Structure 1
Amino acid sequence: MLVFLGFAMIAVFMALIMTKKLTPVLALILVPTIFGLFAGAGLGLGEMVLESMKSLTSTAALLMFAIIFFGLMIDVGLFDPLVRFILRTLGNDPAKVVLGTAVLAGVVSLDGDGSTTFILTTAAMLPIYLRLGLSPVVLTCVAGLANGTMNILPWGGPTARAAAALDVTPSEVFVPMIPSLLAGMVVVMVFAWTLGLHERKRLAGAKPEFWATGGAGGSGADRGGSVPAGPGLAGSRAAGQGGSGSVAVLEAPVLEASLADSALDPNRPTLRPKLFWFNLALTVAVMVVLVLDIVPLAFVFMVGSAIALVVNFPHVKDQAAQLVAHGQSIVAVVSMVMAAGVLTGVLNGTGMVDAMSKWLVGIVPESMGPFLAVITGLLSIPMTFFMSNDAFYFGVLPVLSETAAHYGIGPAEMARASITGQPVHMQSPLVPAILLLVSLAKVELGDHHKKVLWRSAVISLVMLAVGLLLGVIPWG
């Protein structure tokens, strides 16, 4: 019964958000509550949820103040030169911009932190997407694919968990999987290029008169995705405005018009050009402390945001206005993170996760024993989407590995197979970083899943196949 309820709960949740019958926040709250009651949790449901939320408070604080900090840096103009440099380098070609997004997300992902990757990628690229009329869903898709693929880095988390669970070293797991990682990133670039070509074609055929005149504009529907309205990450933006669809280089008057409707408005009152070097030094200092991991990340952004507010906006009225300006983004992401605590609380508290994992392990017939490494790789795709990495690597993987040992399959080989599902895992609503990404880009989680899930599954299968071909993951 718990197995049925667990899978049914996930299926109903996914169906509701992908068909847009409920917002993700409401679905994360209502669906687990109903299924938890069916599972017999009763009045204990509240304790399960609150216990789960305790582990999410630091994450919520991190995301909240990270949004404030980087939102301030965008408003004061820190990223304006970077965006203009990217535009000069990539031009206005949608295909090159989307490919550049994949490259940027992949490089930033080297720090092993998904939240940092998505914040920096969105801060740098979202204004460009809005200006050119590209769909923000493409940005979240490409960034999610790149970060999910890079998530098998030893310091990213999953590889370390797999190594610890099976008592092997992270290098034993990761080094042989480097060719799989490279192959996965190649597929990411191919997907990025094809998505960019599709955007180029869509924009070219959207408004012929637009191309003839070289004008700026276009509705949110033309962009193929929702456009931020009102105050948010990048300050105040009018819904449905901004962005040129032209692939050719824009003339100066058109460029200025498009910038005025986006986060790059050269005349916005929040600009602080005289404080550029201070803001740059502050941002670099925050990033260095993040990488060194010597202070809790949430506290780093809390202090960084406080300093940025006091220096850039010394008047209390202006400080309050800045906090309010980014309130929409903060409420969106923090509410979703806390709502996710309902889902994880019900899954763990009712025993659904344990029942689901044991059932999946139990349905593997004995004759398939020699193929347990391949089976583990395939199981990692859906299981790490439906449950946390901790639950999979410390709960399911040891059982699979113990069984595989009877067929001569070593723990390091099982650990390698288990990390191939990470491109899909990073798209899970249980991952706070992906909630941050869609919130910053003002994209519906269901729209993101429609575009990213099958592509991330393909990347996982390619990584698994390369591991099999090279013999680092045994086949039979």
Structure 2
Amino acid sequence: MSTSYIAIIGFLMMFVIIYLLLKQKVSTMFAFSVIPIIGAILVGMSPTALGNALEKGLGMTTPVALIMLFSLPYFMMMADTGLFNEIVRKILRHVTITPPVLTSLTILVAMIVGLDVSITSIYIIAIPLLLPFYKKLKMSPMLLMFFTTLGVINTFDVPWSSRMLRAASLVPEVKGGTISLFSRMFPTQVVFTILLFVIAIVIGLRIQHQNKKSGEAVTDDSNDQDAAESIHDDPELARPKLFWINVLFTIFLVFCLVAFPTVPSYYVFAFGLVVAFAYNYPNIKMQNKLLKKYAKSLMPVMPTILLSGVVVGVMQYSGMMKAMVNVLLNVIPSSLGPWVYIIIALLSTPLMFLFTNDTWYYVLLPIVISIMKAYNVPGEIVVVTLFMNMGAMLTPIAQPQIYIGTNMTGDAITVPEFIKKCMLPIWGLSIAWTLIGLALGAFR
């Protein structure tokens, strides 16, 4: 078969997967496990070749799926023990709420709650908790939604997040997986986090000045003890007496991930899960009950991550990927070739209105990675540059949880209003992220 025919099948397969997922015609698991097989048949792969491609593709994603199998339940269990809630309570007990404090606190609370990598829980906890303060200080709920969303974005790259696991599955040759990717992004993350808090403080100070000018300044001398105590834990699952043990043990696990890269990350989390279960919930029946509860969060994300290996395996070992890249290299002007991944990064926010998270990572990125190899840009560089797809937090197609966020404001704002108001600021921050990474050398 000709190279052009194989490339056409590859592009059609990519288009069909994106179309079906955007239109929600089929599940992601169906799209990833069935459509590539049809593509493989159309390009004439033999059963033996197809079997080898599937084995190699699934082999790339199995370690990543195993990380999720153990890491997600671990952090969900820590949330059940009250670990994250207690951290937020300790902060609230020691601060006096003013506009600049509140805007900064919104990002911080979202980041802390987001350590369990659940966008849903961030919106459900942070917005109802902080909304009364926004109303009290005459601040728009839109700002609450905006800064909470920035907190969500700033937790995208924790090593156990589904995004990082997806990203790591694209570069299986990189030792350390998610830890390696996180380490490469960390300097950029530090500068970007500082930028977020600077923006929050500046906006908060401006609102405080406006309130004073209009005579609407509000003070609060109570250090907001009531707010701290309004955060309730599950009485059956909370383990307040083990708070510091859980903090130290979690720090120990993170240290092991960084200090011992040769130890599989999924084993570190497996070890952490079983040990933390043993001292937090020694009753076996309770452990089984919680595992069943956490299993619901593993579906369908974990199988999706695993089955993404089918797409990668078929595209790579059928010759589709190579043929598609050759076609694109002939179309892209040679002067722009080395900068393709940077251009896509700068346009990533509006582009996310055309993609889901899965199609961004498993359809677009593999093609860009292959294109950039022709210009000697390592796959790891492409992945970290295109990783922070912030536009996902503006479209319900990629992130339906934003409906939850807007609803938590008491219908004070709608999703279309949120998109309209926050599109340009978030796009600007996405560009800033890319430029910071380039300046620090992380994306070059």
Q: Shorter-normalised TM-score: what interval? A: 0.5 to 0.7
Residues in 2 aligned to 1:316 and 1:418: alpha-carbon distance in whole angstroms: 41
Q: Which residue of 1 aligns with 2:264?
A: 296
Identical columns (%): 20
Cα shift readout 1:114-142 (whole Å, capped 9, x = no counterpart): xxx8646769845524745999x989964
Q: Does 1:70 align with 2:75?
A: yes
Q: Equivalent of 1:80, from 80, 85, 108?
A: 85
Cα shift readout 1:356-380 (whole Å, capped 9, x = no counterpart): 22221121346xx3x5444453267
SS of match in other structure, 1:423: coil
SS of match in other structure, 1:400: coil
Q: Does 1:128 align with 2:137?
A: no
Residues in 2 aligned to 1:442 and 1:64: alpha-carbon distance in whole angstroms: 26
**Does structure 2 conserve the Cα–Cα contact (< 8 Å) formed by 1:422 and 1:460?**
no
SS of match in other structure, 2:82: coil
Cα shift readout 1:131-170 (whole Å, capped 9, x = no counterpart): 45999x989964674467999xxxx999xx9xx9xxxxx9
Equivalent position amino acid for 2:74 in 1: F
Q: Does 1:21 align with 2:18?
A: no
Q: Which residue of 2 aligns with 1:378?
A: 343
**Does structure 2 conserve the Cα–Cα contact (< 8 Å) formed by 1:73 and 1:279?**
yes
**Does structure 2 conserve the Cα–Cα contact (< 8 Å) formed by 1:53 and 1:338?**
yes
Matches within 5 A, 1:33-112: 33-43=37-47, 44-85=49-90, 99-100=107-108
Change (3 A) 1:385 1:35: same
Change (3 A) 1:466 1:62: closer
Gap runs ≥5 in structure 1: 106-116, 165-169, 195-248, 402-410, 428-434
**Does structure 1 conserve the Cα–Cα contact (< 8 Å) formed by 2:120 and 2:404?**
no
Change (3 A) 1:292 1:188: same
Q: Which residue of 2 aligns with 1:397?
A: 372
Cα shift readout 1:165-196 (whole Å, capped 9, x = no counterpart): xxxxx9xxx99xx89995898589879x99xx
Residues in 2 aligned to 1:336 and 1:3: alpha-carbon distance in whole angstroms: 25
Deviation at 1:269, TM superposition (A): 0.5
Deviation at 1:307, TM superposition (A): 0.8
How many residues end up aligned between the 2 structures? 357
If the length of structure 1 is used for normalisation, what is the TM-score?
0.56
Deviation at 1:311, TM superposition (A): 1.4
Change (3 A) 1:143 1:390: farther
Q: Which residue of 2 aligns with 1:343?
A: 311
If the length of structure 2 is used for normalisation, what is the TM-score?
0.59
SS of match in other structure, 2:237: coil
Matches within 5 A, 1:3-14: 3-14=7-18
Deviation at 1:271, TM superposition (A): 1.6
Q: Which residue of 2 aligns with 1:273?
A: 240
Equivalent position amino acid for 1:397 in 2: M
Deviation at 1:304, TM superposition (A): 0.9
Matches within 5 A, 1:138-287: 142=150, 145-146=153-154, 186=195, 259=231, 264-265=232-233, 267-287=234-254
Deviation at 1:61, TM superposition (A): 1.4
Cα shift readout 1:351-403 (whole Å, capped 9, x = no counterpart): 2221222221121346xx3x54444532676898555878755x4334235xx
SS of match in other structure, 2:305: helix
SS of match in other structure, 1:79: helix
Q: Which residue of 1 aligns with 2:326?
A: 358
Equivalent position amino acid for 1:400 in 2: Y
Change (3 A) 1:82 1:101: closer
| RMSD across aligned positions (CA) | 5.5
Gap runs ≥5 in structure 2: 132-140, 160-164, 175-179, 204-222, 352-358, 393-397, 406-414
Deviation at 1:47, TM superposition (A): 3.2
Deviation at 1:11, TM superposition (A): 2.5
Change (3 A) 1:69 1:19: same
Change (3 A) 1:306 1:102: closer
Equivalent position amino acid for 2:283 in 1: H
Q: Which residue of 1 aligns with 2:273?
A: 305
Residues in 2 aligned to 1:138 and 1:22: alpha-carbon distance in whole angstroms: 31
Deviation at 1:312, TM superposition (A): 1.7
